[in-house]
Amino acid sequence: MTADLDAARELVPAFLDELRAWVNIDSGSDHKTGVDQVGALVRARFERSGFAVETHPQAVYGDNLVARRKGSGRMRLLLIGHMDTVFPVGTVAERPFTIRDGRAYGPGIFDMKSGILAGITALDLAGAETLDRFAAITFICNSDEEVGSPGSTPLIRAEASQADVVLVLEPTRDPACVTVARKGIAAYTLDVQGVSAHAGVMPEAGRNAILELAHLIIALQGLHGSLPSLSVNVGAVYADGRRNVVPDRAQAHFEMRAAEPEIFAQGQAAIEAIIAAPRVVPDTVVTLTPGPVHQPLALTEGARKLVAVAGSVGAELGLQIKPLSIGGASDGNTTGGMGIPTLDGLGLIGQNSHNPDEHIIIDAIPVRLALLAGIIRALPDVIL
Ligand SMILES: [Zn+2]
């Protein structure tokens, strides 16, 4: 294990050089050209490590990459990282990759270009002999995670259905942390159709869509906190009208989150029950349109075994592994929601994702590479 740490220290200068090239290309989710340019560099890096890389073309978002390596063992390992960022074109020109006070800054460096590179580097560190002990190692680099993975989720689901273990390379805040649970998220659009009328001459002919929506918002927000970990947020309301006209249309966007799969399902059912209940404003018509759903990533029995592996590898590196439960979703929700043992938060250490001060801690790179390499080396002996 300390051999890994020594080897990882040697790799840091080359790691940062490669990362600089990746970070210095704007790759916001909606900037396909940039994401594809990053993809070309990522592909070349995989090929240098002996992986065969497939491109899965996408019309709107960047192309997804799937890197593969076959071995002669039994376990099928899937790693996942995303190449897109939340930053618009021009961000790199404003604040390119910079090293200052032991930290490396740049758009998407922490979340999570460094995670993809850490994954590839850790596979190198684990070594060919270890990699041959797997039946297959598959590494998805997707292009659209920051907008909810609309184009890559089918690919992730297909590959996860062929995997025994999933490692997600999202970043985390402290060298000892791994992410074991993430809340599920259900997003919705709510439309209310009423009847417009002159507010002074014939108010009784009108059916006020805003008023009905107001009652619905209060009922939905009433679910917030009604079950452990359940949160509801009505985050946007749209209604365009005039003071003297009874409004006939109103819309709200909201989301529900919960940590446990059972609570998540109960939250979804409670929302549907509110919509199915009789209307407060008679004759208004309510339509609930579900958006993307991220199932909760929960600490299942299989995931506990992965945490135990991380715990013993971490102990050898002087880290007392801390399993984190967090509110934000990742592609780990998709694989965990399918019941595939998933360990997340295996990327690098830093702070301020989605923020101009986003950075990674350079000193923490070797220990995280060694942790990941050690986990990969231990996996073929884990009985799931
Ligand atoms: Zn991310």
Q: What tens digit of pLDDT does each residue of 212-250 get? A: 999 999 999 999 999 999 999 999 999 999 999 999 999
Distance 222 CA to ligand 1 centre (A): 31
Distance CA(9)–CA(173), nearest Å, equals: 20
Determine the Cα angle at 150 with ends 24 and 121, to 5°. 45
* 3.30.470.20, 3.40.50.720, 3.30.200.20, 3.30.70.360: CATH of 184-294: 3.30.70.360
Over residues 320-353, the pLDDT tens digits come to 999 999 999 999 999 999 999 999 999 999 999 9
Nearest to 364 by CA among 171, 182, 179, 180: 171
pLDDT digits (tens, 9 = 90+) for 13-40: 999 999 999 999 999 999 999 999 999 9
| Stretch 77-82: mean pLDDT | 98
Q: Are 350 and 359 in contact (CB under 8 A)?
A: yes
pLDDT at 1 over 70: no
Whether 2 shows a pLDDT value over 80: the answer reads: no
Structure tokens at 372: 């990941």
Tell me how far the alpha carbon of residue 147 lies from the centroid of ligand 1, in angstroms.
Answer: 10
The alpha carbon of 116 and the centre of ligand 1 are apart by a number of angstroms equal to: 10
Distance 350 CA to ligand 1 centre (A): 13
Model-wide pTM > 0.85: yes
329 CA → ligand 1 middle, Å: 9
189: helix, strand or coil: strand
Delimit the CATH 3.40.630.10 region(s) of the chain. 2-183+296-381
What separation in Å is there between the alpha carbon of 149 and the centre of ligand 1?
11
What is the distance between the alpha carbons of residues 321 and 218, in angstroms, rounded to a whole number?
A: 42
Q: How far is CA 276 from CA 192, 194, 216, 279, in A?
A: 13, 16, 11, 9
pLDDT of residue 292: 85
CA of residue 138 to ligand 1 center, whole Å: 19
Q: Which residues pair with 69 in a beta bridge?
A: 137
Rounded to the nearest whole angstrom, what is the distance from the C-alpha of residue 360 to the centroid of ligand 1?
13
- Nearest Cα to 106, choosing from 29, 36, 20? 20
What would the pLDDT profile of 374-383 be if each residue is shown by its tens digit? 999 999 999 9
Helix, strand, or coil (residue 362): helix
- Residue 288 banded pLDDT, cuts 50, 70, 90: very high
Dist. CA 82 → ligand 1 center (Å): 7
Distance 183 CA to ligand 1 centre (A): 15
* C-alpha of residue 169 to centroid of ligand 1, in Å: 8
Q: From the CA of 111, how far away is ligand 1's center (Å)?
A: 5
Token code pair at residue 225: 């906190």
Spacing, Cα 317 to ligand 1 middle (Å): 26
Q: Name the band, by pLDDT with cuts 50, 70 and 90, for residue 90.
A: very high
Task: Tell me the CA–centroid distance for residue 59 and ligand 1, in Å.
Answer: 22
Cα 261 to ligand 1 centre (Å): 22
H or E stretch at 365: helix 365-378
| Residues 183-211: tens digit of each pLDDT | 999 999 999 999 999 999 999 999 999 99
Cα(12)–Cα(181) distance, integer angstroms: 30
Instruction: State the distance from the centre of ligand 1 to the C-alpha of 23, rounded, in angstroms.
Output: 14
What does DSSP say about strands 197-198 and 245-246: parallel, antiparallel, or unpaired? antiparallel
Paired with 177 in beta bridges are 322
44: left (phi over 0), alpha (psi -120 to 50) or beta: alpha
Residues 237-257, buried b or exposed e (16+ Cβ, 10 A)?
A: eebebeeeebbbbbbbbbbbb
Question: What gap in Å lies between CA 368 and CA 365, rounded to an integer?
Answer: 5
The answer to whether the beta carbons of residues 333 and 294 sit under 8 Å apart is: yes
Residue 351, C-beta contacts closer than 8 angstroms, at least 6 positions apart: 110, 173, 357, 358, 359
Q: What is the pLDDT, as a whole number, of residue 384? A: 87
* CATH 3.30.70.360 domain range(s) in the chain: 184-294
Q: Which of 337, 33, 21 is nearest to 168 (CA)?
A: 337
Q: How far does residue 283's CA lie from ligand 1's centre (Å)?
A: 44
Mean pLDDT over 89-112 rounds to 98
d(CA 209, ligand 1 centre) in Å? 38
Q: Quote the ligand 1 centre to 347 CA distance (angstroms).
A: 10
Coil/strand/helix, residue 133: coil
Written as one letter, the residue type at 354 is: H
Burial profile 308-337: b = 16 or more Cβ within 10 angstroms, e = fewer: ebbbebbeebebebbbbebeebbbbbbbbb
- Average confidence (pLDDT) over 126-133: 98
Cis peptide before 112 (omega within 30 of 0): yes
Say which CATH superfamily domain 2-183+296-381 falls into: Zn peptidases (3.40.630.10)
- Pair type for strands 359-361 and 350-351: antiparallel
- Ligand 1 centroid from CA 144, angstroms: 10
At 286 the pLDDT is: 98
* Phi, psi for 177 (deg, rounded to 5): -90, 140
